[in-house]
Amino acid sequence: MHHPSAAKVRVLLADDHQMFREALCHLLQSQSDMEVVGQTGDGMQVVDLARKTAPQIVCMDISMPGMDGAEVTRILRTVLPQVMVVALSAYSDQQYVLDMLNAGASGYVTKAEASDELLRAIRTVLSGRTYLCPDVAGVVTGALVGQGGAARPTAVLGARERQVLKLVAEGCTSVQIADMLNIAPSTVEVHRRNIMRKLGRHSVAALTRYVVNNERGQRG
């Protein structure tokens, strides 16, 4: 018997290393507020399993047989946009991190840090914020600064943040954006603060100029 007030966070584990997956399952199940509703090691099975088990969070290995984590994340966030993804990886390389963030992941945790950081990542992502473990936080900061200006700053924005940025630039209020994206206005405000911090802009006008200039640069 489940009491509504004691509803647990539903987590799906997608990782092809069975021992690692079982260790994560044990970690999550030991938490009074979390439950593992499904597991798979095949990228091709993740979306169907998510449809059947209705998780709030998918912990996604970036390299699985069948389909890689970024592609699965892209599909999952399109067909089940309410499901949030925390990436799991043995790598902290910039390209892996940006690929997952651009695909729509809300968090990124290296496997070396998973035992310490995964619970924090899940709770942070559920609160509407992006979570990067210490190993990769510096990678994203480096991408923002850019090597000789080569890196595009928007590459570090998640899919939802890019949606919010576009609507902000179009003049929409937080309430309007919340209605359009079916999220809480407070979540929109979190996204706006994160976008401003990531892009180094401190006003809506500055964000609007950024989008206009960025789009012009891409067309050129």
Q: How many angstroms separate the CA atoms of 116 and 142, rounded? A: 24
Q: How many angstroms separate the CA atoms of 143 and 90, rounded? A: 19
User: What was the pLDDT predicted at 137?
Assistant: 74
Q: How many angstroms separate the CA atoms of 215 and 140, rounded? A: 22
Q: Can you give the length of the chain in residues?
A: 220
| In this structure, CATH architecture of domain 7-143 | 3-Layer(aba) Sandwich (3.40)
Q: Where do the CATH 3.40.50.2300 domains begin and end in the chain?
A: 7-143
Taking CA 9 as the corner, what is the angle to CA 55 and CA 140, rounded to the nearest 5 degrees? Answer: 80
Strands 34-40 and 9-14 turn out to be parallel
Strands 34-40 and 131-132 turn out to be unpaired
User: What was the pLDDT predicted at 91?
Assistant: 86
User: What was the pLDDT predicted at 220?
Assistant: 47
Tokens of 150: 């080569």
Averaged over successive runs of 10 residues, the pLDDT of the chain (220 residues) comes to 67 96 96 96 95 97 91 94 94 82 89 90 88 75 46 66 78 86 90 81 63 53
Tell me which of 1.10.10.10, 3.40.50.720, 1.10.150.570, 3.40.710.10 is the CATH number of domain 157-219: 1.10.10.10
Q: How many angstroms separate the CA atoms of 163 and 181, rounded? A: 9
Count the neighbouring beta carbons within 10 Å of the beta carbon of residue 141. Answer: 12
CA distances, 3 to each of 6, 126, 164 (Å):
5, 20, 35
Count the neighbouring beta carbons within 10 Å of the beta carbon of residue 218. Answer: 9
Q: Where do the CATH 1.10.10.10 domains begin and end in the chain?
A: 157-219
User: What was the pLDDT predicted at 150?
Assistant: 41
